[in-house]
Structure 1
Amino acid sequence: MEATLEKPKAQTKNRTIRRVAVLGSGIMGSRIAAHFANIGADVLLLDIVPKEPNAAEQAKGLTTDNPAVRNRIVNEAFQTMLKASPASLYSPKFAERVKLGNFDDNLKEIATYDWVIEVVVERLDIKRSVYERVEQFRKPGTLITSNTSGIPMHLLAEGRSEDFRRNFCGTHFFNPPRYLRLLEIIPGPDTDPAVVDFLMNYGDLYLGKTTVLCKDTPGFIANRLGIQSLIQTIRVAEELGLTVEEVDKLTGPVVGRPKSGTFRLSDVVGLDTTVNVAGNLVKMEHDESRASFELPASVQKLMENKWLGDKTGQGYYKKTKDEKGQTQILALDLKTFEYKPSQKVKFATLESTKAIDNLRKRFPVLVAGKDKAGEFYRKTFADGFQYATHRIPEISDELYRIDAAITAGFGWQLGLFETWDAIGVKNGLDMIEAQGKKPAQWVYDMLDAGFDTFYKVEGGKRKYYDIPTKSYKAIPGVEAFTILENLSNNVVWKNADASIYDIGDGILNVEFRSKMNTFGQGVSEALNKGISLAEKDFRGLVVGNDSAEAFSAGANLATLFMFAVEQEFDEVNLMIAQFQKLITRLRYSSIPVVVAPHTLTLGGGCEAVLHSDRAVAHAESYIGLVEVGVGLIPAGGGTKEMAARASDLYQSGDPELNILQNVFMNIATAKVSTSAQEAREMNYLRSTDQIVLNRSRLLAEAKQAAIELADNGYTQPKPRADIKVQGKTGIALFKAGLTAMRMGRYISDHDMKIADKLAYVICGGDLSAPQVVSEQYLLDLEREAFLSLTGEKKTLERIQSLLTGGKPLRN
């Protein structure tokens, strides 16, 4: 699906969603409203009227009759959302799609809205009172859903009309709604099945979510498993005497989870939120492990101290300033309950996995560790595995729904059953029993029947073990996805850094697998090979991958640094020329090439996008030409291409130098888009490029784009010779601005030297007047400027800083 400025139209029978009303403007309500604005819906955001004016309003003589007072709560909440980081809107201008109001004056307007989402405080009585008022104005047949994180649907729907109950459902977004992919769909006892089908499809296709169908049970799926895991992790940490920093290291990226880890996540979410959910879950008499929701000692102590995390300024971590005014992160000592400077963490078990890039291959090594880390993993994994088995069929009939909810809701790369598969089902069972616990009987029955995995791939389809039938079934709802992991039998060529897949219908896919998917020799070889194979025997090529970290972080700087330090400038020149030739070949091959960026798309990754016949980008694509940060300029065609795109805009009516200045500043400041929409506004994506909301659909949409280009009679383009450049006129403008910035000490001497080189290239060199030049002319200028900068000592210092410390150097 393409995200455009058009209104979304999703239909099941006669249901169309153009206008969405969100009731409640708190953290979740305002951000849900923002995400609907992201996809083009008209949104009405409402909240209560204040009981009385505040001091500032009283000083102005305002009363509760004044609109500014009546809408103060919703206005302030919306402004807070707009200022928050990371941003909830794809573009600031999308804020105009949201209309603000209050329940007393504007609730009647919901009669003209297609979907009403209730996001008020988590109290049954308050929610019911809102529904009572909603029924006065709601149009029959209108969707009405609740974003509750745990109140049962059957209690919420009590006393409502038949039409209300048939169109009522739980739609539980996770915070922040723009970024976390989970949307739990929880039908009530009277919900029309067609409503459930509609929401499952709409959430996937239009909101970009992993939609998971849940039963109406406490905590639904993700919070039930996620909070149990969090509480038990804290309990094991206390038991083993592990520090806050150690646990966050053990529960972060090394196990495919967010770098926040356990304790940092708790601070971000707010400990009170976790405690409230756990407090409801510990009351479940039917849960054999309900004691696992009882609060560990450290949690109780933090609650007593009101150290709830970020919202109170301290929790498991505390941010302070040292005597030099530098920010310092302090960590809580779980034994003394005093804060101390955060310490580096080192475990032999973690050291042993550093060279294991494949997450699935890492898990057996982690649980085999002989130190505290290994013991921690055995205890926490065993507990999580056995708890999940006992939740079937209580919270879900199928194990894949549990994994889908936990991965999409908490950002885990692998779910509980997927992790268990990686360890080995029999090994995991032994680990559970060694902790004095037992999984549900169905696990023993599965193994006795000869089935030794929870998942397997057959015929390019991923299947899950279905407990009632004791057989494997295809996971439903993913038929439209192209998942490279499932196509291992379709690899037609590979090396250590990349693979080329036949993804069907005459289309090849080149997948990068280098660290952060950087462009090195292996990736470059694969791209050239992919184009050659596609030109010979296929119809088109997709460049895309399933990596969670990055589409591509750009060029591999290590080889360049080595040649530059040794002053092997002929080798550097050859490297640049070969990379230019490769990237240019994406544009000028005889078959259509579609590039599918997502997440980090920097430097050379951005240049690949710029030279595609079409880009199909995930909405969360952070695209930019960042070479200036390491003392260089884009030289894989990036500077040339942005000069060309500026030239194409010169007929728009805006002054040409203004257009070029915007392009120049984006590159000179190494600006990276915060979304695919912003990348479009920066002209890194064209109006003809697509934006896809659901990451799981990205490669399938890219493949379809390649097919369409081929079906429409793709013709190999010719290199351009019509790029208008500004010559000395543009250079003089940029030099004046740079001189002022240098005098104001906003940039260093080396920054100015780099920017001078960039200005020279993007303006087409020292031409006496604006004129038209060829692509090759600009590519030559790019290469010359890049080559000269690799001979600069300060550029080498910047590259070395990035390679050794991972941080850019300002010198």
Structure 2
Amino acid sequence: MNRTIKKVAVLGSGVMGSRIAAHFANIGVQVLLLDIAPRELTPDEEKKGLTLDSPLVRNRIVNSSLEAAVKANPSPLYRKADVSRIKTGNFDDNLKEIATCDWTIEVVVERLDIKKSLFDRVEQFRKPGTLITSNTSGIPIHLMTEGRSDDFKRHFCGTHFFNPPRYLKLLEIIPTPDTDPTIVDFLMHYGDLYLGKTTVLAKDTPAFIANRVGVFAIMDVLQVMQKLGLTVEEVDKLTGPVIGHAKSATFRTSDVVGLDTLINVANGLAQNLPNDEAKDAFQLPDFLRKMGENKWLGDKTGQGFYKKVKGEGGKSEIQALDLSTLEYKPSAKVKFATLETTKAIDKLADRFKVLAAGKDKAGEFYRQSFAGRFAYVSNRIPEITDALYKIDDALRAGFGWEMGPFETWDALGVQAGAELVKANGKQLAPWVEDMLAAGNTTFYKVEGGVKQYYDAETKGYKAIPGVENFIILDNLRASGKVLWKNSGASVIDLGDGILNVEFHSKMNTLGTDVIQGLLKGVELAEKNFRGLVVGNDAPNFSAGANLGLVYMYALEQDYDEINMMIAQFQQAMMRMRYSSIPVVGVPHGLTLGGGCELNLHCDRVIASAETYMGLVEFGVGLIPAGGGTKEMVLRTAAKYEEGEPELNLLRNTFVTISMAKVSTSAQEAFDLGFLRRGDEVVVNSNRAIMEAKQAAIDLADAGYTMPTQKTNIKVHGKNALGMFLTGVYAMKEGNYISAHDQKIAEKLAYVMCGGDLSAHTEVSEQYLLDLEREAFLSLTGERKTLERIQSILTTGKPLRN
């Protein structure tokens, strides 16, 4: 059947339920969010004379939960207005409304009896043939179907979202033996395409895939650290970005998530895994058990492995828990010789051999923890999944690891990893021994641009299913599709006449090498291809221009060099904008400063939903000068026929730039004017480059012709300039901004108004480009601007001087 999802019921409005509801609202689905009706009045309700029958009281729990979700930071919503798609109610009055829903998701407390009791009531109202799923992190899915109808069983399975659902990409799909296979296929596809998830098919085993392996990894780390006498701070240094994990690493992450969650999952696994060869790893160490008893559960209780206290002079300081004494002490700086040797190694995969070869305590930590992890995941096949790539997918998407355990093992070398396992007294699964004996030395390989994984059952390699919908640049690189490259960028053939320019500078900053790559991409595409995509697979599209270079030239007062650098960037943007082939930008993650300006000059933009886009130059004492100010003025002028007063529109744009506003989602980027009609949002970032390639093909097929530069951009001169200068002066006099903020704002206003022209005038793009470059150049000569740039470069924090 042709199944569509127009309306979803979410039963349970706690942290997970309200956030799942919010994410469905993000993608345009109508949501019915229900929870229990209160059994007693609050003192405030009694004062107001309300009763348990009052609508405000009956929906108090669900409305309070939704209100808390809307106020949460980071927000579960792409736009605050999306909450209008969520209707609230309670199980007693509104459960009958699930008959109007295409999918009912149960997200109540983790107790089987409560879930089954709710399903008894759901069966009274649910429309036959509609989806019914449970979000649980550990309760066996098949137990929930006992006593249910055949139709319920056919359309029922587990859908395990990870918290927060908007930001963590994993969605585990857990069918029962009675689940209709077409339902599983639909959910796998819907989760990927519409919810933007990495959908992983899991077996109905305790904690499924991600929590089973991820919690083992945490508990094993606790054992290794105790053996080696490591501190909380040392372990967090060893298990953070250096191995591709979150900056919050092991213990800070546990504090944020809540130690009760870790304790509950570990206890559940310890009880439910009698045949697990590593079941002892799930036994709580004494310190963790005592922390649970003391309610030291992390951020939710004010202390966990870390605690924030007031130090001398009232200044906050972070203290770390001494696990041997269970007393807090000032957090100590950590340094290991092994880590020092990896500082110059940018590529994550290249670090693991160095880490495992370390001669200090850090090296021993890695050898022991890698050995335990490799042994554990090898023995989980085929128990929790038949395919090793699903374990890697689950850990990357659910725990935020850059590389899954099998990918890490590949980077270290499968043979070397196997020897590490044996040397540490761990048991390797026989299939790995068989794989190596047959001469297969990697878990993954790329052939013909297609990534394959080793299949333990057939003892051969298979293509990873589903990736035909993605373009993975690493796979194309491995297949010889790179046509040109330098240290900052590569030009890659995507096929079908479309090229891609990929950045690979640090944080994808836009320096000379990247600009050269962009120009080469346009040149090659115009000669022999049909279109150009600008996209990459890095965590962020681009953090902007190379500020370090600007700072160095400014210190040396080499303003000619700065002028030339800015002029070259502007010319590259205009060359891209006015080329004979269509150019499609693919922003995602941080898309700041020059990264934003680049996308402003593309013919079309295919943005990932999680795109944080903005012109942030004001924060470092500058204005956008890579065509950003010009383009925003041009876009504002294009709206002058829409009816709103022209100066109001111009003021809104001025505020956006002068406050260095950054969108909190791609949808919000439309509101700020960084995206426009015709640009698209892709919820699953893995699909973005493929979609961009198709957009470039569509533009070419439609008969793309090179646009002509604008010479009729309306600017307002003194009329608007006076308004801006008055407003900025008032802000300064009210102590809302500093004198240097005032200076930057005045220069921005001057550019946006086209200078101090006596009347409305039509000007060219080049006229505005020259103005913005001159303003930028003059600001690099200001001491306070250099102080702001230095602060960002050295501390990562903006300075308001």
What TM-score results when the alignment is normalised by the length of structure 1? 0.97
Aligned to 1:529: 520
The one of 171, 175, 185 aligned to 1:183:
171
Residue aligned with 1:752, SS: helix
Q: Distance in 1 between matches of 2:258 and 2:549?
A: 45
Residue aligned with 1:340, SS: strand
Is 2:772 aligned against 1:782? yes
The one of 77, 80, 83 aligned to 1:89:
77
| One-letter amino acid of the counterpart of residue 769, structure 2 | L
- Structure 2 counterparts to residues 235-254 of structure 1, below 5 A: 235-254=223-242
731-740 vs 424-433, greater mean Cα deviation: 731-740
Is 2:358 aligned against 1:369? yes
The one of 256, 262, 278 aligned to 1:268:
256
Q: Distance in 2 between matches of 1:291 and 1:563?
A: 59
281-290 vs 351-360, greater mean Cα deviation: 281-290
Aligned to 1:205: 193
Q: Distance in 1 between matches of 2:375 and 2:635?
A: 57
* 1:399, distance to aligned residue in structure 2 (A): 0.5
Q: Distance in 2 between matches of 1:237 and 1:72?
A: 46
Aligned to 1:194: 182
Aligned to 1:150: 138
Q: Deviations over 1:121-146 (max 9, x none)?
A: 00000000110000000000010000
Q: Deviations over 1:228-255 (max 9, x none)?
A: 1111112212221212111111111111
The one of 473, 477, 494 aligned to 1:503:
494
The one of 680, 685, 689 aligned to 2:670:
680
567-576 vs 169-178, greater mean Cα deviation: 567-576
- Structure 2 counterparts to residues 188-337 of structure 1, below 5 A: 188-283=176-271, 284-337=273-326
* 1:206, distance to aligned residue in structure 2 (A): 0.2
The one of 608, 617, 637 aligned to 1:647:
637
Q: Deviations over 1:29-84 (max 9, x none)?
A: 00000000000000000000010111110111111000111001001100110111
Residue aligned with 1:134, SS: helix
| One-letter amino acid of the counterpart of residue 419, structure 1 | T
| One-letter amino acid of the counterpart of residue 484, structure 2 | W
What TM-score results when the alignment is normalised by the length of structure 2? 0.99
Q: Deviations over 1:206-229 (max 9, x none)?
A: 000000000011000000001111
Aligned to 1:587: 577
Q: Distance in 2 between matches of 1:700 and 1:776?
A: 34
Q: Distance in 2 between matches of 1:652 and 1:248?
A: 54
Aligned to 1:404: 393
Q: Deviations over 1:482-529 (max 9, x none)?
A: 000001110001111111100100011111000000011111111111
Is 2:747 aligned against 1:757? yes
The one of 600, 603, 611 aligned to 1:621:
611
The one of 739, 748, 751 aligned to 2:729:
739
Q: Deviations over 1:344-383 (max 9, x none)?
A: 2211111100110111001111111111111111111110
Q: Deviations over 1:159-195 (max 9, x none)?
A: 0000000000100000000000000000012000000
Is 2:59 aligned against 1:71? yes
The one of 440, 444, 451 aligned to 1:455:
444
Structure 2 unaligned runs (5+)? none
| One-letter amino acid of the counterpart of residue 588, structure 2 | H
Residue aligned with 1:52, SS: coil
Q: Distance in 1 between matches of 2:315 and 2:755?
A: 43
Structure 1 unaligned runs (5+)? 1-12
CA RMSD between the two structures: 0.9
* 1:583, distance to aligned residue in structure 2 (A): 1.1
Judging changes above 3 Å, is the alpha-carbon distance between structure 1 residues 657 and 322 closer, same or farther for their aligned structure 2 residues?
Answer: farther
* 1:576, distance to aligned residue in structure 2 (A): 1.0
- Structure 2 counterparts to residues 650-661 of structure 1, below 5 A: 650-661=640-651
* 1:801, distance to aligned residue in structure 2 (A): 2.0
Q: Distance in 1 between matches of 2:347 and 2:513?
A: 18
239-248 vs 398-407, greater mean Cα deviation: 239-248
Using the aligned pairs only, state the percent identity. 67
* 1:320, distance to aligned residue in structure 2 (A): 2.4
* 1:773, distance to aligned residue in structure 2 (A): 1.4
Is 2:759 aligned against 1:769? yes
Q: Distance in 2 between matches of 1:338 and 1:765?
A: 63
Is 2:328 aligned against 1:339? yes
Residue aligned with 2:34, SS: strand
* 1:343, distance to aligned residue in structure 2 (A): 2.1
Q: Distance in 2 between matches of 1:311 and 1:30?
A: 18
* 1:269, distance to aligned residue in structure 2 (A): 1.1
Q: Distance in 1 between matches of 2:386 and 2:403?
A: 19
Q: Distance in 2 between matches of 1:106 and 1:293?
A: 42
Q: Distance in 2 between matches of 1:66 and 1:326?
A: 47
Aligned to 1:512: 503
| One-letter amino acid of the counterpart of residue 424, structure 1 | G
| One-letter amino acid of the counterpart of residue 393, structure 1 | P
Q: Distance in 1 between matches of 2:396 and 2:795?
A: 30
The one of 548, 568, 592 aligned to 1:602:
592
Is 2:427 aligned against 1:438? yes
* 1:327, distance to aligned residue in structure 2 (A): 2.7
Is 2:99 aligned against 1:111? yes
Q: Distance in 2 between matches of 1:770 and 1:99?
A: 49
* 1:743, distance to aligned residue in structure 2 (A): 1.4
Aligned to 2:481: 490
Q: Distance in 2 between matches of 1:18 and 1:293?
A: 42
Q: Distance in 1 between matches of 2:711 and 2:222?
A: 64
The one of 355, 359, 365 aligned to 2:344:
355
Q: Distance in 2 between matches of 1:761 and 1:805?
A: 30
* 1:572, distance to aligned residue in structure 2 (A): 1.4
* 1:574, distance to aligned residue in structure 2 (A): 1.1
Aligned to 1:809: 799
| One-letter amino acid of the counterpart of residue 358, structure 2 | G
Is 2:705 aligned against 1:700? no
Q: Deviations over 1:601-635 (max 9, x none)?
A: 00000000100000111000000001111111000
| One-letter amino acid of the counterpart of residue 40, structure 1 | G
